[in-house]
Amino acid sequence: MNARRFLFSGLLVCALAAGCRQTESDPMVTMSMAELQDKIKGGWAGQAIGCTYGGPTEFRYCGTMINDNIGIKWPEHYLKYYFENSPGLYDDIYMDLTFVDVFDKEGLDAPIEHFAKAFANAGYPLWHANQQARYNILQGMMPPECGYWENNPHADDIDFQIEADYAGLMAPGMPNAASHYSDAIGHIMNYGDGWYGGVYVAAMYSLAFVYDDINIIVREALKTIPAESRFHKCMSDVIRWHEMYPEDWELTWAMAQKRWSFDIGCPDGVYKDFNIDAVINSAYIIIGLLYGEGDFGKTIEVATRCGQDSDCNPASAGGILGTMLGYSNIPEFWMPNLREVEDLNFAYTDISLNKVYQMSFDQALQVIEKNGGSIAGDDVKIRCQAPEAVRFEESFPGHWPVALNHVDKTIDEVGELSFEGKGIVVSFWYDTEDYGQVSDKTTGKVAKVEVYLDGELSETVTLPGDFRSRKQEMYYRYKLPAGSHTLSFKRLDPGKDKLTITSYLVYSDRPEN
C-alpha cells in the first residue's frame, strides 16, 4: 500500500478528527508530481465545465428547482461558443485569476492592498458585494473595511464563494492554509456568512486532494466553519437530511428552501424569490456533491437543478469533484468541448486554462514546502492538516428587515422619506448610456447627491456614469438609534440623466410580527 492509498484507509480521518494543530506527527501523504498536477487541472477543468453546463439557467429559476421535464443540453463546441459570444459567463473563473496572477507575480506574501487594487482596477464588470467593494476601494477604503457589513450591504452574498477556488487548489491537503489564503482576500468583498462560503469551498477543494470519498470531504471541510454560525447550521442540516433521505435530493432541497432561503442583507433578495446569499447557494453545492455520489455528470446536474446561481454552484461542485477525480478521470463525454478552449485566454485576462494549470501547480508546490512538506525528485510529500474553525463573524447582527418600500421617483420628485427602524438601504437607477457597457471609455459624467438623515448632511454620494465604478446602492446606514427617522436628497450636478430612487429597505431591532 503506497502512501496515498494509506490516506483512504480511514486512518487519516481519525488523525485529522483529533483537531490538533500542525505538528511533526501530522500525517504525511506522498503523491507524484504528475498526480498533483492532474488534480489541479481537474479542479480548474471541472469548474469550467460546470459553469458552462449551468450557464443558460443562471437565475432563471429563483425559489424553484429545475424539474426533470426541463432538459439541460451539452452540445458540441459549447465552451467555445461562450468564450466567443458570452465570455462574461466565466466571471467566477476570471475573478479567481486576478488573485492567482498576483500570487504568481508577487509571491505568497503579496500585500493585500495589491490584490485589492488589481481587483478594483480590472476591466471586468462586477455586481453585488464585488461591485460595492470595488467602489469602496476606489474611494480609498481598503480591506477588510471594504467588505465589512456596515460598509457593504452585500456582505453575505455569494461573491467570494465563487472566487475562492484558487485557495483550495494552492493548498492541497492543507485546509487551514486554504483558510489563510482565503482570509484577507475574502474580506475584500465579504464578511460573515459571505466569507464562510469561500472558506468552505476552499476547504473542500483542499481536502479533495487527499480523500476519495465526497461525503468525508463535505463533512471534514465543515470543521473550518464556526458551529454557531448560520452557515454551519444550514450545511449541517443538509448533511443530516442527506443521511435521512439518501435517494431524494428534491426533498432535501425543499427542506433547505423552507428553513434557510430567507435573506436579510442583499437589497435585491430581501422579500423576493431571488437569492444570491452564500448560505443557500452553498447548500445547493453540497446537495449536488452528496447526491451526485462521485458521478461527475450527476453532480453538476443536481447542483444546477437546485436553481438560483445555477452556473456558479455546479462550477464549484464540478471543480471540487474534478479535483478529487483528477483531470484524467473526468468522463470523456465532457472533455472535447473543454479541450477546444484550453489555449484561449479568459476575458479581461491573458490567462488560459493551460496557463492557470501551471500557475496553480507552481503555487501549490510553494505552499506545500511552506507548510512542512517537501519535494524530492518526482515525489511530493504533503503534511496534511486537521481542519480548524476560523473566527466567528456575523453580518447584520440585531438588524431585521421589516419593510421594502417602492418609490420609483426621481431625486427631484422624491421629497422626504420617513421610516421607523434602525437601518435603511436605498436602491436607485441611473439612466445613462454607459450602463451595461463593457468599455474602457466613459462619458465622464458624474452625478452628485447630498443625502440628509434627520435633517443633517450624512453623505455626499458620487455616482460615475460608468457603472463599473459606481456604488451598488445609493445610500445605506445601519446601527441607527431605533425609532423615527427621515431621509432626503439634493442633487448637486446639473446633469439631465434620469436618477431615480427605486425603493428603500428598512431594518428594525426586532423581527416584524
Domain assignment of residue 388, yes or no: no
pLDDT at residue 444, as a whole number: 66
Domain assignment of residue 221, yes or no: yes
Whether residues 378 and 428 share a domain: the answer is no
Domain assignment of residue 62, yes or no: yes
Whether residues 354 and 411 share a domain: the answer is no
Whether residues 312 and 174 share a domain: the answer is yes
Contact 91, 122 (CB under 8 A): no
Contact 178, 122 (CB under 8 A): no
Q: What share of the chain is helix, strand, coil (3-state, %, to 5)?
A: 45, 15, 35
Whether residues 323 and 439 share a domain: the answer is no
Domain assignment of residue 349, yes or no: yes
Whether residues 481 and 408 share a domain: the answer is yes
Q: Which pTM value belongs to this model? A: 0.94
pLDDT at residue 466, as a whole number: 81
- 4: nearest Cα among 31, 34, 37: 31
Whether residues 174 and 289 share a domain: the answer is yes
Give CA–CA dist 176/271, Å, rounded: 36
Q: Which long-range contacts (CB under 8 A, 24 or more apart) does 139-146 make?
A: 142/112, 142/113, 142/116, 143/112, 143/113, 143/116, 143/184, 143/185, 143/187, 143/188, 144/184, 144/187, 144/188, 144/191, 146/116, 146/188, 146/189
Whether residues 445 and 336 share a domain: the answer is no
Strand-strand pairing, 374-376 and 400-410: unpaired
State which residues of the chain have pLDDT below 70.
1-26, 433-444, 513
pLDDT at residue 467, as a whole number: 81
pLDDT at residue 17, as a whole number: 38
Contact 173, 29 (CB under 8 A): yes
Identify residue 248 by its one-letter amino acid code: D
pLDDT at residue 473, as a whole number: 96
Is the Cα torsion angle 166, 171, 177, 179 positive or negative in sign? Answer: positive
Domain assignment of residue 392, yes or no: no
Domain assignment of residue 312, yes or no: yes
Q: Find the largest Cα–Cα distance for the chain.
A: 76
Number of structural domains (the chain) is 2
The residues, any chain, with a CB within 8 Å of residue 248's CB and separated by 6 or more, are none
Give CA–CA dist 363/368, Å, rounded: 9
* Residue 313 DSSP SS3: helix
Buried b (16+ CB within 10 A) or exposed e, 174-207: bbbbbbbbbbbbbbbbbbbbbbbbbbbbbbbbbb
Give CA–CA dist 95/329, Å, rounded: 26
Domain containing 412 equals: 400-508
Whether residues 333 and 414 share a domain: the answer is no
CATH number at residue 433: 2.60.120.260
Assign residue 77 a region: left if phi > 0, alpha if psi is -120 to 50, beta otherwise? left
Give CA–CA dist 381/362, Å, rounded: 15
Structure confidence by residue, pLDDT tens digits, 174-221 = 999 999 999 999 999 999 999 999 999 999 999 999 999 999 999 999
Whether residues 191 and 236 share a domain: the answer is yes
pLDDT at residue 443, as a whole number: 56
CATH number at residue 253: 1.10.4080.10
pLDDT at residue 433, as a whole number: 53
How would you list the strands of the sheet with 28-32, edge to edge? 28-32, 379-383, 374-376
Give CA–CA dist 430/464, Å, rounded: 9
pLDDT at residue 493, as a whole number: 86
pLDDT at residue 6, as a whole number: 34
Tell me which of 322, 357, 383 is where a domain ends.
383
Structure confidence by residue, pLDDT tens digits, 2-56 = 333 334 434 344 334 333 334 455 699 999 999 999 999 999 999 999 999 999 9
Whether residues 228 and 159 share a domain: the answer is yes
Whether residues 70 and 111 share a domain: the answer is yes
Tell me which of 336, 354, 383 is where a domain ends.
383
Domain assignment of residue 393, yes or no: no
pLDDT at residue 16, as a whole number: 43
Whether residues 298 and 343 share a domain: the answer is yes
Domain assignment of residue 395, yes or no: no
Tell me which of 383, 411, 444 is where a domain ends.
383
